[in-house]
Amino acid sequence: MRKPIIAGNWKMYKKLSEASQFVEALKNKVPSAEKVDAVICAPSIFLTSLVEAAKGTDLAIGAQNMHFEVEGAYTGEVSPSQLSDIDVQYVVLGHSERREYFNETDEAVNKKAIAAFENGLTPIICCGETLEEREAGQTVAKVSSQITAAIKGLTPEQVATSVIAYEPIWAIGTGKTATAADANETCGEIRSAIAQAVNEEVAQAVRIQYGGSVKPANVVELLSMEQIDGALVGGASLDAESYLQLLEAGANA
Ligand SMILES: O=C[C@H](O)COP(=O)(O)O
């Protein structure tokens, strides 16, 4: 059985004091990392403080993006080695908002995934279709090609330890969730694409999250699905109580 992973993606929300209060509110309440991997992906400016605040807990801290070069003249960017140097453990790659607003391509996501592993970070690689693509019956083709491109050149062991997040774009921040059955089916298709690109053993090991309006009210059903191993959560991860409920659901899945 694959261990559930619940990752909060705070996007561009919170002030530092609110971020610190959040971690304080979680103290002694995060379920054991033996049962669920708990991650908060925060704005870069908070990462150092949050890593420090989360020490001694089972909460891991992740970034929301990074460059693929370890250093260089890239004003405004953060490098994989800078993240690992401050003990960040995860990095979200290829989120639909990065793809849409910052022109992140499949090729860049692939370079970042390789760089993540070279620097000891676990990538959370996102994929997902637009409503238009879904209605045109292109969901499977879209997510399969995004994931196949993202994992190119990774070793089987690296693919197996990657985290994939399936986020239908029309379900992000809209209150619309894919039905658990639909989400399960697409996660299964992503697994098949990985089996084809690497092998069946790796496909069975890799964890696939669902993301898109996940909240305490729907997380149990989503996590009960065979192909869904966790959630990448935006809005509902901003409140400590709500995030803890998501973690509990993960620990009991
Ligand atoms: O990374 C998280 C996703 O974009 C989902 O966001 P949401 O839970 O607010 O819909």
Per residue in 140-185, pLDDT (tens digit) is: 999 999 999 999 999 999 999 999 999 999 988 888 888 999 999 9
107 is catalytic: no
Provide DSSP, 198-231: S-HHHHHHSEEEEESS--HHHHHHHHTSTT--EE
Burial (CB < 10 A; 0-12, 13-18, 19+), residue 89, is: middle
Confirm if 227 and 194 have CB atoms less than 8 A apart: no
pLDDT band, residue 1 (cuts 50/70/90): confident
- Give the mean model confidence (pLDDT) for residues 64-93: 98
Domains, in order of start, for the chain = 5-251 (3.20.20.70)
Ligand 1, closest atom to CA 126? Answer: 1
250 contacts 5 by C-beta, under 8 angstroms: yes
Most ligand 1 atoms within 8 A of CB, residue of 90, 172, 215, 239 to mutate: 172
- Taking the CA of residue 42 as centre, how many other CA atoms within 13 Å lie in the half-sphere pointing to its CB? 27
Is 95 catalytic? The answer is: yes
pLDDT-derived band at 121, boundaries 50, 70, 90: very high
Question: To the nearest whole number, what is the mean pLDDT of the chain?
Answer: 97
What band does 10 get if pLDDT is binned at 50, 70 and 90?
very high
Catalytic residue among 97, 104, 167, 248: 167
**pLDDT tens figures, 92-108:** 999 999 999 999 999 99
Give alpha helix (H) positions in the chain.
Answer: 16-26, 47-53, 80-85, 96-101, 106-118, 131-135, 139-150, 156-161, 180-197, 200-205, 216-223, 240-251
- The predicted model gives 44-49 an average pLDDT of 98
SS3 111: helix
